[in-house]
Amino acid sequence: MGIFSKLKTLISSNINDAISKAEKPEKMLNQLIIDMNEQLIESKKAVALAIADEKKLERAAAEQQTQSQEWERRAMLAVQAGKDDLAKEALLRKQEYVSAYTEYKKQWDTQKAAVEKLKMSLRDLQSKIEEAQRKKNLLIARAKRAEAQQKIQNTMASVAGNRSAFDTFDRMAAKVDQMEAQAEAAQELEDLSADSNLEKKFAELEKSDASADSLLLELKEKMKALPDKTL
């Protein structure tokens, strides 16, 4: 079970290290998945070694049992041959293998139970990593939304806290309004000046025509009063 405690410690360490460095969630999550899979591979290797040890104990126990049965068969042969002393020696040898089998069987049972727990833990770990992989993209999307929202809030707070920009904008707008008004006033004055000049020209023209008519009329009256021979 130590390998899984080590894995948990390593993953926790990686998480804390990433958070302390304020890494982006996307980078952190991707790296965590990589670390988890690497540790999963190492865990599988450790479990495989434990299974191999179990198989060795199983084979050793079976071998001890086979040897005990073989020495029992030899003891029977010695009895049939009337060699009880040889049969006793065979039975003592059998007993040694029986004792060895009992010890190996105990170790095998213990190792087998441990391996089953390791397999269950490994399956649980693999399932959790697969779940983490499925959730990764969702978490990354949520993190990006949160980051975008935070940027908007920071911008709004910055703008709201700096009224000078808005005040300057309002002053510029008022200045543009004033410039437009001045331009319109100048145009209006120019139009008035043009109209005045035009009226003056026509008045002078009319005055000139009236004066000429009056002089002509006066001349004609004067001429009527003169004798014909005068002309």
For residue 55, tell me if it sits in a domain. Answer: yes
Q: Which two tokens stand for residue 37?
A: 């899979």
Separation CA 100–CA 104 (nearest Å):
6
Would you tell me the crossing angle of helices 84-161 and 25-80 to the nearest 10 degrees? 170
Q: Angle at CA 83, nearest 5°, toward 79 and 85?
A: 105
Q: Which two tokens stand for residue 21?
A: 């460095």
For residue 170, tell me if it sits in a domain. Answer: no
Q: What is the dihedral of CA 9, 13, 15, 17, to 10 degrees?
A: 180
For residue 171, tell me if it sits in a domain. Answer: no
Total domains, the chain: 2
**Same domain assignment for residues 39 and 101:** yes
**Same domain assignment for residues 147 and 191:** no
**Same domain assignment for residues 154 and 200:** no
Q: What is the pLDDT of residue 89?
A: 94
**Same domain assignment for residues 98 and 207:** no
For residue 172, tell me if it sits in a domain. Answer: no
**Same domain assignment for residues 119 and 208:** no
User: Taking the model in full, what pTM does it have?
Assistant: 0.53
Q: Mean pLDDT in runs of 10 for the chain (231 residues)? A: 54 52 74 89 93 95 96 94 93 96 96 94 91 86 85 77 70 84 78 67 63 69 70 55
64: Cβ contacts below 8 Å, ≥ 6 apart: 97, 98, 100, 101, 104
Separation CA 121–CA 73 (nearest Å):
44
**Same domain assignment for residues 135 and 222:** no
**Same domain assignment for residues 223 and 130:** no
**Same domain assignment for residues 188 and 79:** no
**Same domain assignment for residues 193 and 155:** no
**Same domain assignment for residues 137 and 48:** yes
For residue 169, tell me if it sits in a domain. Answer: no
For 35, the domain range is 2-161
**Same domain assignment for residues 112 and 19:** yes
Is there a contact between 48 and 119 (Cβ–Cβ < 8 Å)? no
Q: What is the pLDDT of residue 1?
A: 46
